[in-house]
Amino acid sequence: MDPRTECIEFINPATGEKFGEVRMSTEEEVMRARREMAAAQVTWAAKPLKERARIIKEFQRVIIDATDELTAIVNQDHGKSRGDALHEVIMTVDKIHQYARLSPKWLGRRRVPPGLYFFRRYYTERVPFGVVGIIGPWNYPIDLMLPPIVAALLAGNTVVVKPSEVAAATGVELEKLFQRVPELAPFVRFIHGDGRVGAALVKSKPDLLFLTGSVKTGRIVAKAAAEHMIPFLYELGGKDPMLVLEDADIRAAAHWGVWGAFYTTGQACVSVERVYVHEKVYDAFVAAVLEETAKFTVGYSPDIDNPYRMGPLTFERQCDIVNTHLQDAIAKGARVLMGGQQTGMFIEPTVLADVDHTMQVMREETFGPVLPIMKVSDDTHAIQMANHSEMGLSAYVWSRDLAHAKRVAEQLQVGVVNINDTMSHYPVSLLPFGGVKMSGNARTHGAGEVTQFTHTKSYAVGAPPNPIDPATMVRYPGHYRLGKAILGGFFGVTPQQRVAPLLDYLTNDPKGRQAVTRTAVGLSAASVVGVMAAVMLGRKK
Ligand code: NAD
């Protein structure tokens, strides 16, 4: 990386216009950022959690004040409408608000039952990893960056952030927002650049890495992280299926299925990427989809009153992937029912029929405005096809009978199922979100997003071991029968398991017999005292 020549240009994908640039960070700057964040982490972690939450609320205020600035930058950087960018700001602020409010509860000390060690106290606390490296994607450049940064900070970490080179202008804008909160700015460091800068961040050995990106990058980063044994959390691609069952509301499924496929030009990790429709409703569904797709106007506007439903793709490589998938599908027998044409960075909303799983468009993430529809014979066939994927982020099921939809949903190998809607699970800030299989191992949204940036540290506390504590006694030799009596007494499953070892101890172990004698003496003494007391009480009467 040569700092004199290497810059990332900010290009508006809709107009091709350059609107700025940022210099790529050098490897030395990345290393320095990591070192400085390690030094600063001690100060940040020493602040009480309530204080950290107060500072994060200040950051929340700054974001809300900067809403118009943010939506204008994202509109230019990504091509999505100001309204869709505002939706990102709302989702982001919702999460920050909940995390700042609930972190003291999620991260607080937790008492743990003492087991057999009755005379001691046990508890666990959540401690930060140290410096977290966060590498982000371009498609939701606010909502996929700020919540994990804030979650890591609330947990007591400092953060080195690398935004995507494809949304570099938004990355620079986010950096400025942090600088507007002087109490927070020293604990977050931005580095800018492409995958090489991301690789330098991994090489700088942060204490934890969090990546949102493609499966391809996930594989590369996983290997590099493993080399240094760096814990690695990843949120990767999706190939979300939508299942339209025989008893679905066809009009609603078509309307929201089309929206879920083409919203933000299909460039969401939870976009509807493939549809499986029961053969009995297939024709009606396809007809309704074409009607809905025809309404999806395409264009770009920088105004807040944007009239278009769909914007451009965000960069050239994304157009290439979409076109490759389309050509592959057509070559293998798919029919284009609508769309398919590209003008500049705009690709028409495209509906495909006669697709099957030999085609890339049904197996690999397309991340563009393409809706392939496949006919299936029954629920089992639909479930089989939906699960026939290396990815497992979310899935959509449509049925008028919620119990029927739920039975199908339970069999889908994904992290989230949304019944009778598309995408409305993602904006819910406390509903755990994340995938299975190659879609990822991290969880965002809710307590899990914050706690994954900590590890537990446990404490065992008390006075020196008490000799009358059975758990202490069994540390010494000669207590085998007592140990078995404890094992059976506490954990025995049958009456025989619970009682027999105790009887064996009391009759065959010298200390057990002693205990019986002492108890018997104690009981006789107690009964003598009892009788005397009764006699005395009787006399008083
Ligand atoms: P990408 O994998 O191309 O890039 C992601 C980030 O990794 C970028 O910042 C990039 O510069 C960086 N990077 C690239 N090579 C690297 C390397 N060798 N070492 C370290 N960092 C490197 O992904 P993208 O195109 O920016 O994002 C789109 C992808 O993200 C899609 O697959 C989408 O499904 C996925 N995504 C997933 C979720 C989720 O929550 N699961 C959310 C949004 C997007």
Residue 265 phi, psi dihedral angles, 5° rounding:
60, 35
Catalytic residues: 235, 269
Q: Is the CB of 393 under 6 A from ligand 1?
A: yes
Give me the residue label for tokens 């030999």. Answer: 358
- Output the six-digit token pair for 347: 């690709």
Residue 155 phi, psi dihedral angles, 5° rounding:
-75, -5
Q: Is the CB of 173 under 6 A from ligand 1?
A: no
Amino acid letter, residue 228? H
Local mean pLDDT, 10-residue blocks, the chain (541 residues):
76 98 98 98 98 98 98 98 98 98 97 94 98 98 98 98 98 98 98 98 98 97 97 98 98 98 98 98 98 97 96 97 98 98 98 98 98 98 98 98 98 98 98 98 97 98 90 92 96 98 96 87 65 53 40
Mutate to test the pocket of ligand 1, among 203, 215, 217, 363 (most ligand atoms within 8 A of CB): 217
Half-sphere exposure of 514 (CA within 13 A, CB side): 4
- Given this model, what pLDDT does residue 532 score? 55
User: Quick check: pTM over 0.85?
Assistant: yes
Are 321 and 347 in contact, with CB atoms under 8 Å apart? no
Alpha helices in 66-181 (DSSP H): 67-78, 82-106, 146-154, 168-179
* 212 Cα to the center of ligand 1, angstroms: 5
Query: What is the DSSP secondary-structure string of 248-311?
Result: S-HHHHHHHHHHHHHGGGG-STTS--EEEEETTTHHHHHHHHHHHHHT--B---SSSS---SB-
- Given this model, what pLDDT does residue 540 score? 46
Q: Is the CB of 141 under 6 A from ligand 1?
A: no
Cα gap 409→55, rounded to integer Å: 41
Cα gap 421→253, rounded to integer Å: 7
Q: Whose CA is nearest to atom 37 of ligand 1?
A: 236
- Given this model, what pLDDT does residue 469 score? 86
CA-393 nearest atom, ligand 1: 41
Cα gap 139→212, rounded to integer Å: 10
What's the order of all strands across the beta sheet hosting 158-162? 188-190, 158-162, 131-135, 208-212, 232-235
Are 369 and 265 in contact, with CB atoms under 8 Å apart? yes
- Given this model, what pLDDT does residue 541 score? 40
Cα gap 137→130, rounded to integer Å: 23
- Specify the DSSP element, H or E, that contains 190: strand 188-190
Q: Whose CA is nearest to atom 28 of ligand 1?
A: 213
- Given this model, what pLDDT does residue 536 score? 53
* 272 Cα to the center of ligand 1, angstroms: 19
Mutate to test the pocket of ligand 1, among 135, 149, 162, 425 (most ligand atoms within 8 A of CB): 135
CA-235 nearest atom, ligand 1: 41
Q: Is the CB of 96 under 6 A from ligand 1?
A: no
CA nearest 43: which of 201, 191, 206, 183?
A: 183
Q: Is the CB of 298 under 6 A from ligand 1?
A: no
Expressed in percent and rounded to 5, the helix, strand and coil fractions of the chain are 45, 20, 35
Q: Is the CB of 214 under 6 A from ligand 1?
A: yes
* 144 Cα to the center of ligand 1, angstroms: 11
Q: Is the CB of 365 under 6 A from ligand 1?
A: yes
Q: Is the CB of 13 under 6 A from ligand 1?
A: no
Cα gap 200→215, rounded to integer Å: 19
C-alpha torsion 233→238→244→250, nearest 10:
110
